[in-house]
Amino acid sequence: MSDVSSARQHTLGDLPRRTAQRVPDKVAVIDGDTRLTFAELDAYVERTAAAITAAGLAKGDRLALLSHNCWQFAVLDFAAARAGVVLVPINFMLGADEIAFILDHSGATGFVVEDALVPVADAALAAAAGAQVRERRVVRVAGDAAPDGWEDLSGWLEHEGPAVVVPMADDDPVRMMFTSGTESRPKGALLSSRSLLWQYVSCALDGSMSADDVELHTLPLYHCAQLDCFLGTDVYLGATSIILPGPDPARVLRAIAEHRVTKFFAPPTVWIGLLRHPDFDTTDLSSLRKGYYGASPMPVEVLRELQQRLPDVALWNFYGQTEMAPLATILGPDEQLAYAGSAGRPSINVETRIVDDLDVPVPAGTVGEIVHRSPHATLGYHDDPEKTAEAFRGGWFHSGDLGYLDDTGHLYVVDRKKDMIKTGGENVASREVEEAIYTHPDVAEVAVFGVSHPRWVEAVAAVVVPRAGTDLSPDDVLTHARSVLAGYKAPKYVVLAEALPKNPSGKILKRQLRDAHADLSAGED
């Protein structure tokens, strides 16, 4: 790399150092009893990057990370990038065989694991036929000693040695984010510093983020939304991050009050959980000024309730996906009710259009596939040139989502292509049916999907979670749905449940629901 290129370098690994130079003594991260200033955060990043290099992981090597939220996760994110190593965050809810697939497919040579997750990590390593992992470290969150075959991560955090200098270009990969795999085998989306930093700029500008924010991070950091829309942007700006291991409603409410949190992101399922918690109305939430939602559409009735019960909180809807690092469009605070149900307009560094099956742009109001052009976009799928070429055909990234743009340029997401229900020759968008069912006052949550049917090919099915203390019946739901929907759109089957299956980022796992209820039409003709 030339002197000119070195002087112009601006990568993910540079961010903690540059923020520390501006605000060294400001609190960067609070995790339980651990409080790190930006100077202390950067020192950990510097030592860990040097240790990663000393351990033999070279530029382009992959380092897998399996952990719940903790301050060490943030350090490893930036340290790996500073060392030129590609971080591979792994969903901590996966089983050993699923983790083995990611270890094999990514070609990880290093593996950092939270102590409580070592047993599943060991099983994954045993099942990973092609795994090349040679460096194994444990994050001692529970405080237990590192088990046999593993070294304590503290050896990296406290490493003494020369600072590491790894020249990095804008489009050198620094992250491999595996798609959620709610429908199929996950794919490893490669992201570069260019992808991430432009995305941070979009989040900050269009999401009204600033260095004065005090943000609560509760959704899993292995997921791109919490890690890159929020934590990474906070470190870039110099905001303070409060880290919790998960989104337990009671703990979230206490943390907002204790730390005077001003900013919070959660998918609709978590916001619903907060609204339904008995401590909601007695907790001091007066510091909260900014609320963000994403991962799935916010039911309009829930949106109205949020605005009524948190009138001083401005709301933003972030829409996107892993391959967009992940932000694509934003619906701002002044548009929440006027454009209720919309995903907003393209963020400042994104261009979005709707195309038909031949990739020809369609007029406003016409449903088609949502496609994007942006520096946010992934470099492609690791070791999968065919899927990369398919996703980027015609020079646009194809999201796999169906939607339309209205005359004002606002995007409405109709459904995932794979979630569109085809019943009796008619297309039914599961989201439209869900929105209709949510208007019943006794419905807490609902998921709509298609099940096979001998006559209609597919039939509309709904799994409904009633509000606590109500006597909702399947017939109540059916009657209500038929009163507000065309007959072919109303569910043929309604099942009541105590909860919906979700991944840790709050997405409802419709594949599990389809599998669990595949026999609803058994015996019919």
For 385-431, write each residue's pLDDT tens digit.
999 999 999 999 999 899 999 999 999 988 776 677 878 767 787 88
- Number of neighbours of residue 482 by Cβ within 10 angstroms: 14
Label residue 145 exposed, middle or buried (CB < 10 Å: 0-12, 13-18, 19+): exposed
CB 295 within 8 A of CB 506: yes
Strand duo 411-416 + 421-423: pairing: unpaired
Query: How far is the C-alpha of 262 from the C-alpha of 230, rounded, in Å?
Result: 13
Q: How high is the pLDDT of residue 183?
A: 46
Q: How high is the pLDDT of residue 29?
A: 98
Query: At which residue do the structure tokens 């967009």 appear?
Result: 324
Residue 525 has pLDDT above 70, yes or no: no
Q: What is the mean pLDDT of the chain?
A: 93
- For CA atoms 464, 470, 475, 479, the dihedral sign is negative
Token representation of residue 436? 């209709």
CB 272 within 8 A of CB 465: no
pLDDT band at residue 184 under the 50/70/90 scheme: low
Token representation of residue 507? 């997405």
Strand duo 397-405 + 411-416: pairing: antiparallel
Token representation of residue 223? 């997921």
Give mean pLDDT, residues 14-43: 98
Determine the 3-state secondary structure of 65 from DSSP. Answer: strand
- For CA atoms 360, 363, 368, 371, the dihedral sign is positive
CB 53 within 8 A of CB 46: no
> What residue type is assigned to position 174 of the chain?
V
- For CA atoms 498, 461, 318, 232, the dihedral sign is positive
CB 502 within 8 A of CB 269: yes
Q: How high is the pLDDT of residue 179?
A: 86
Give mean pLDDT, residues 510-521: 90
CB 212 within 8 A of CB 239: yes
Q: Describe the strand order of the beta sheet including 135-139 as a list of residue ranges.
A: 151-152, 135-139, 110-114, 62-66, 86-90, 173-178, 188-192, 380-381
CA angle 193, 194, 198 (to 5 degrees): 110
pLDDT band at residue 487 under the 50/70/90 scheme: confident
Query: How far is the C-alpha of 28 from the C-alpha of 18, rounded, in Å?
Result: 13
Residue 57 makes CB contacts below 8 A (sequence gap 6+) with 63, 83, 85, 109, 110, 135
Residue 182 has pLDDT above 50, yes or no: no
CB 73 within 8 A of CB 65: yes
Q: Where are the domains of the chain?
A: 36-190, 420-516
Give mean pLDDT, residues 282-301: 90
Q: How high is the pLDDT of residue 417?
A: 67
Give mean pLDDT, residues 228-248: 97
Q: How high is the pLDDT of residue 452?
A: 87
CB 401 within 8 A of CB 418: no
pLDDT-wise least confident of 4-13, 397-406, 514-523: 514-523
Give mean pLDDT, residues 125-145: 90
CA angle 152, 155, 157 (to 5 degrees): 110
Give the residue among 17, 71, 37, 72 at the shortest CA–CA distance from 242. Answer: 71
CA angle 423, 431, 321 (to 5 degrees): 115
Q: What single DSSP character describes residue 485?
A: S
Query: How far is the C-alpha of 289 from the C-alpha of 62, rounded, in Å?
Result: 38
Determine the 3-state secondary structure of 61 from DSSP. Answer: coil
Q: How high is the pLDDT of residue 425?
A: 65
Give mean pLDDT, residues 480-486: 89
- CATH 3.40.640.10 given to domain 36-190: no
What 3 state SS string does 219-251 have? CCCCCHHHHHHHHHHHHHHCCEEEECCCCCHHH
Positions of E strands within 82-134 = 86-90, 110-114
Residue 41 has pLDDT above 50, yes or no: yes
List pLDDT tens digits, range 189-204. Answer: 999 999 999 999 999 9
CB 274 within 8 A of CB 253: yes
Fold exhibited by the domain 420-516:
GMP Synthetase; Chain A, domain 3 (3.30.300)
428 or 375: which carries more pLDDT confidence? 375
Residue 116 makes CB contacts below 8 A (sequence gap 6+) with 68, 141, 142
Residue 143 makes CB contacts below 8 A (sequence gap 6+) with 115
pLDDT-wise least confident of 50-59, 139-148, 352-361, 362-371: 139-148
Query: How far is the C-alpha of 277 from the C-alpha of 80, rounded, in Å?
Result: 39
pLDDT band at residue 95 under the 50/70/90 scheme: confident
Give mean pLDDT, residues 241-246: 97
